[in-house]
Structure 1
């Protein structure tokens, strides 16, 4: 893999830019899709000319545009960034795109021989996916907390409401970037959101209190990005309101962790059980099923998802709660 600056003058309007070579097949949308909180995520927009992201760096906000170019077998990624945090955003691109995500052991014939045919076939058809690693703890933790113990629909609706109320326009929004691209609030801005706004967003006191509590130590939280994924997840779980599910969901995105499993997920155990055995199971059963592939359990789950497998309906859907009218 190599990283090289774009020739001078190519992205004339950008404050910083990069051309990154993954060193093999690479699918931008498959790799980064897990970072989106639904198609309506205000901080991520996918357009005909690229994958747009907006976020805050230590130097300030940044807008980042990523686009794939070149042959399918050996593409490269054109990265352009705008705003005070442009240089920092560009510096983080290779890691975010999975530079450190090594599938070598997973792809060994001997390892494939231990895997279900469904997983092997999914990997054969999806050789270009990587596990992203953003390093941005707060950006991942807040929307993940909003997803605790509620449906995805409810959580994403609340997240969008808060983003439109308290997010800020991304650098270049409406000129070089999509007009509706927003930067997530900073920790200080999250902490200033009044209780009634959380209520209007449909976010109950337990989840809003957890967000407020963990963001009071935002600087320490961001330092976890430099730790190994397992250690970062363990330290996250020392924070009140952060359990194994939340920690796993976070480090999957911030560290590109190939092994973190979201124990406690409302659907995951039944889904994995149905895929691997044809029968639903619980968290303990899921962990037993995935145990032979320790170190790669998240890769296995990701491949099951990419296989197209759909879990049979076992029971009633989780009820969507609406806290806004009470």
Structure 2
């Protein structure tokens, strides 16, 4: 009995997961070469909602898995950087759409050269991280719903809610993800009708208060109209989203940064961001939204890119007592 739980050897021994060396059967594939320096993780990381996001995974080799709901249906995308050449494989009804949109997703329509650093810190970070490009998913609801979940709560609470709701009401991602990642594999988020049918007690169990749940329910009722914002200019897109009660400038900016690749979408109303920008650019950790906008004014048209670079600098003020305490309405 002493050796009962010893690792097995031989042809049937379990092995740790490794990324496949080629596309799994049934995959559609596409290659793309970025027009300049490119950092895959840096470009796609804004789509990740926490380390256990069921729709997003970074593999050991640095490749990225993404499960999403496209206009053509669910799809799984696997993207690998092969020394400057991007190799992509996709599965499911949404696979053709995902591959068609691949360059756009990875920032082909972004123009990093239009950015002119005005501060030494920003210039230094841009020099160190030349592979930053602003992604554009072309999909509004997949970024809007988790952004609503993040309203006025800690990130841990929001990530937990997203994880529970997507795993419970979403669908397993097409392709090999289930075999590769097991029970905690990739999931495609629910469609609008499924979101609308989630019982009130399930929102409660996920720690989502009635106000955020009601905002999501209002949004999914007009999902088609909101998706149209992905092709609009930033002011019109923001106005479209903010017609829904409960969606304000913070939520619309967080959404459009991802769905539209909006280089100028500034996240106002954030608890921490003004202090980070103020500390980095003016040594003022107590900056408010007004001062943040003043400091970012030289980057008009590129304020989101400037913010990304500042956040990448690591120059953040030392922590004070938390300004927001974690709540757990699921226990009430």
TM-score, length-scaled by structure 1: 0.91
Cα distance between partner residues in 2 of 1:41 and 1:221: 23
Query: Structure 1 residues 318, 104: CA separation in 2 closer, same or farther (over 3 Å shift)?
Result: same
Matching residue within 211, 218, 234 for 2:223: 218
State the match for 1:162 in structure 2: 165
SS of structure 2 residue aligned to 1:165: helix
State the match for 1:3 in structure 2: none
State the match for 2:280 in structure 1: 275
Q: Which has the larger radius of gyration?
A: 2
Q: Contact (CA 8 Å) 2:226, 2:240: kept in 1 or not?
A: no
Deviations 1:39-75 (A, max 9, x none): 11000011124200011112221110000012xxxx1
**Count of residue correspondences:** 307
Matching residue within 40, 50, 62 for 1:38: 50
State the match for 1:94 in structure 2: 103
Query: Structure 1 residues 265, 140: CA separation in 2 closer, same or farther (over 3 Å shift)?
Result: same
Shift of 1:148: 0.4
SS of structure 1 residue aligned to 2:329: coil
1:132-151 → structure 2 map (5 Å cutoff):
132-151=135-154
Stretches (4+) displaced over 4 A = 173-177
Q: Contact (CA 8 Å) 1:45, 1:178: kept in 2 or not?
A: no
Cα distance between partner residues in 1 of 2:77 and 2:257: 21
Matching residue within 256, 265, 285 for 1:260: 265
Answer yes or no: is 1:24 the counterpart of 2:36.
yes
Shift of 1:173: 4.2
Q: CA RMSD in A?
A: 1.4
State the match for 2:214 in structure 1: 209
Query: Structure 1 residues 294, 59: CA separation in 2 closer, same or farther (over 3 Å shift)?
Result: same
Shift of 1:316: 3.1
Cα distance between partner residues in 2 of 1:26 and 1:14: 28
SS of structure 2 residue aligned to 1:178: helix
Q: Contact (CA 8 Å) 2:253, 2:267: kept in 1 or not?
A: yes
State the match for 1:63 in structure 2: 76
Cα distance between partner residues in 1 of 2:151 and 2:186: 25
Cα distance between partner residues in 1 of 2:178 and 2:250: 39
Cα distance between partner residues in 2 of 1:224 and 1:158: 25
SS of structure 2 residue aligned to 1:65: strand
Q: Contact (CA 8 Å) 1:101, 1:131: kept in 2 or not?
A: yes
Matching residue within 288, 310, 313 for 1:307: 313
Deviates more, 1:281-290 or 1:227-236: 227-236
Shift of 1:311: 1.7
Answer yes or no: is 1:84 the counterpart of 2:93.
yes
Matching residue within 298, 301, 315 for 2:304: 298
State the match for 1:5 in structure 2: none
Cα distance between partner residues in 1 of 2:173 and 2:233: 31
State the match for 1:245 in structure 2: 250
